[in-house]
Structure 1
Amino acid sequence: MRYIEDDLKDKTILITGGAGFIGSNLAFYFQNNHPEAKVVVLDCFRSGETFSNGNLKSFGHFKNLIGFSGEVISGDINDKDLLLTLEADYKFDYIFHEAAISDTTVLEQDLMVKTNVNAFKDLLDLAVAHKANMIYASSAATYGGSDTFKVGHEAPNNVYGFSKVMMDNIAYDYMKTADISIVGLRYFNVYGAREYFKNTTASMVLQFGHQLLSGKNPRLFEGSDKILRDFIYIEDIIQANIKAMAPKKSGVYNVGTGKARSFQDIVDILQRELGTTATCEYIPNPFVGSYQFFTQADIEDTKEFLGYVPGYEMEEGIKAYVAEIKRIYETEVKK
């Protein structure tokens, strides 16, 4: 679906983290709907490097960009020389900043802040220099232990959530004087195509889907019918990003459905769509005391200032996703 009617002919768009989940979906949105635009993808593609928790330092994967016809640059947003080269060699009209350390279990606070906070400031300077509107990924992790999911009620409980709060603070500061629009999007629990290479941090929609396809019983925490999250399909994330290109007002906005659904709902819907009748196994929740049992985005400002209206209930999102869940299972999981 095309979310704006603007002519993007002769416009140049930079997508950082463009080989990742959301960035690659953005790249293909522009290729399919605005082929007259020039799209430049920057990504720190994965290597064998890992954090102390054993997870990969980068989830960027070339397979997410198969079929992409724009320009691809391999590089790290922490590389100031690279950013200077981008400033000198290009003239960007829009910057979609999706690159980040997004693994909430990463313990390296120094690298998290350097990558998510300090590099963001450098990219804002690039946006100001080019007069490029900036759309960047914030996160629902900014709310952490809060029970109110509205901007202004931040209570991060890990360094990732803290880093996103710091990004938003910097953005607010730039909004006061910058002659560009700046929009931060606080994503809630996103699922959809091109997330597989996030490995263990991929959504439970995908993970439960693959458990069912492999003939396993889905394993849920006890009381999963009462553990509620705002799960949002990738198409609505893309819609919000595109609407944020020309906002009524710069700001930080939630991107969710505004409706909390349970993990049990995910399994039940998947079973209907896949035609399976597996028995759920319930295991003790080892994270009681540090675990969010409820998230639900307040999206009133998002509707008002971005014109965003979620288009997918969970039933519709999973139905739209299930063919891709099956394809990934056949081509990546079973091999």
Structure 2
Amino acid sequence: MIIITGAAGFIGSCLIHKLNSEGYTDLVLVDDFSDAAKNKNLDNKKFTLKVDREDFIAWIPQHQLHIQFVFHIGARTDTTEFDRSVLDKLNLDYTKEVWNACVEFGLPLVYASSAATYGLGEEGYDDDEQKIPLLKPLNPYGDSKNDFDIWALQQEKKPYFWAGLKFFNVYGPNEYHKARMASVIFHTFNRIRETGEMKLFQSHKPGIADGEQQRDFVYVKDVLDVLYFLMHHRKDCGIYNLGSGKARTFRDLASLTFNAMGLEPRISFIPTPEDIRDKYQYFTEATMDKLASIGYHKPFHTLEEGISDYVKNYLTPGRYL
């Protein structure tokens, strides 16, 4: 039995598809299943049981002998959520409970951290665990993820295998429900389809042209391959970056989305909203040497490959993974 929290969400539901495709169907899905839009992500998936996230911690002791692996992907991922009590409850305290249960019952654990922990990148984007206490996230969401990473590293009792993954800008199918928190590629596709053009944020930083702000965009199918690798690897515990390892510009992203839709790019620029301007990241790029050092060498999709697959095979026909 494999546990997946956040199972109805973007990455969680894609992980179910990946495991199903590899022959795993004894899956226990954990989430708040009250959102009908999210539940569409579970159509045609094979699994054993759904457990409400409020009941999950109490459920574990009764079924721990049958659990083989825990993927804790679920979290409150809204970077505009400023109620720290919500983030402390769902991202920090809940993850501590999952961790402690895995320690108590000898269960291997992979959990989702975030590149939001890096803030403006003052300490770089190196997944050196010595630097984690020095990081300065830009919002309470990033704080909640970094606070757990720090807590995990401080624990004397740890799961026999555990890994925290700092997801960078993940994009791909099954993010239809995410509204404003969906990937830039998702929003670009929809804006182009509705208006025939795309408006990007201007640069407000000397030396960086409009649209030349860069992010590490990583295709969800690559994320799934890493998760699957770690499920079988079960050694070399620690916190790892999970990005493509290659920063690309927003202009590239928009142009490639137009190309995948068979259209000529029409890109213009608007001022970055003042309320986020001073916290806007102009560059993120995951260093991926640490993951490679434990034996993961599968090439990641280029942005060209990922956007082409996503737009042509999922967004245009409205398909799910």
Instruction: Determine the C-alpha separation between the residues in 2 that align with 1:74 and 1:200.
Output: 27
Q: Which has the higher helix share?
A: 2
User: Which residue of 156, 159, 164 corresponds with 1:184?
Assistant: 164
Taking a change above 3 Å as real, the CA distance of residues 214 and 285 of structure 1, as seen in their structure-2 partners, is same
CA contact (8 A) 1:18 1:27 kept: yes
Partner of residue 328, structure 1: 318
Instruction: Determine the C-alpha separation between the residues in 2 that align with 1:83 and 1:138.
Output: 20
RMSD of the alignment, in Å? 2.0
Q: How many pairs are equivalent?
A: 303
Partner of residue 31, structure 2: 43
Instruction: Determine the C-alpha separation between the residues in 1 that align with 2:47 and 2:56.
Output: 19
Counterpart residue type for residue 77 of structure 2: S
User: Which residue of 284, 289, 294 corresponds with 1:295?
Assistant: 284
**Which is further off, 20-29 or 211-220?**
211-220
- Describe the superposition over 1:106-135 as per-residue Cα deviations: whole angstroms up to 9, x where unpaired: 011011011111111111122123322100
User: Which residue of 196, 203, 206 corresponds with 1:216?
Assistant: 196
Instruction: Determine the C-alpha separation between the residues in 2 that align with 1:42 and 1:82.
Output: 7
Determine whether 1:143 maps to 2:136. Answer: no
Counterpart residue type for residue 315 of structure 2: I
Partner of residue 181, structure 2: 201
Counterpart residue type for residue 41 of structure 1: L
Instruction: Determine the C-alpha separation between the residues in 1 that align with 2:37 and 2:83.
Output: 19
User: Which residues of structure 2 form unaligned runs of 5+?
Assistant: 203-208
User: Which residues of structure 1 form unaligned runs of 5+?
Assistant: 1-11, 48-58
Partner of residue 94, structure 1: 69
User: Structure 1 residue runs of 4+, over 4 Å off?
Assistant: none
Counterpart residue type for residue 199 of structure 1: A
Taking a change above 3 Å as real, the CA distance of residues 259 and 166 of structure 1, as seen in their structure-2 partners, is same
Taking a change above 3 Å as real, the CA distance of residues 249 and 60 of structure 1, as seen in their structure-2 partners, is farther
User: Which residue of 291, 300, 310 corresponds with 1:311?
Assistant: 300
Instruction: Determine the C-alpha separation between the residues in 2 that align with 1:67 and 1:255.
Output: 28
CA contact (8 A) 1:18 1:60 kept: no
Determine whether 1:158 maps to 2:139. Answer: yes
Classify the secondary structure of the residue corresponding to 1:328. Answer: coil
User: Which residue of 38, 50, 59 corresponds with 1:73?
Assistant: 50
Displacement of 1:138: 0.2
Counterpart residue type for residue 186 of structure 2: L
Classify the secondary structure of the residue corresponding to 1:230. Answer: strand
Determine whether 1:240 maps to 2:226. Answer: yes
Displacement of 1:169: 1.9
Taking every aligned residue pair, what percent have the same amino acid on both sides?
30
Instruction: Determine the C-alpha separation between the residues in 2 that align with 1:75 and 1:276.
Output: 44
Counterpart residue type for residue 316 of structure 1: E
Instruction: Determine the C-alpha separation between the residues in 2 that align with 1:198 and 1:74.
Output: 21
Taking a change above 3 Å as real, the CA distance of residues 235 and 180 of structure 1, as seen in their structure-2 partners, is same
Instruction: Determine the C-alpha separation between the residues in 1 that align with 2:297 and 2:118.
Output: 21
Determine whether 1:117 maps to 2:92. Answer: yes
Partner of residue 14, structure 1: 3
TM-score (norm 2): 0.89
Determine whether 1:108 maps to 2:100. Answer: no
Counterpart residue type for residue 141 of structure 2: Y
Displacement of 1:74: 4.6
Counterpart residue type for residue 202 of structure 1: A
Partner of residue 269, structure 1: 256
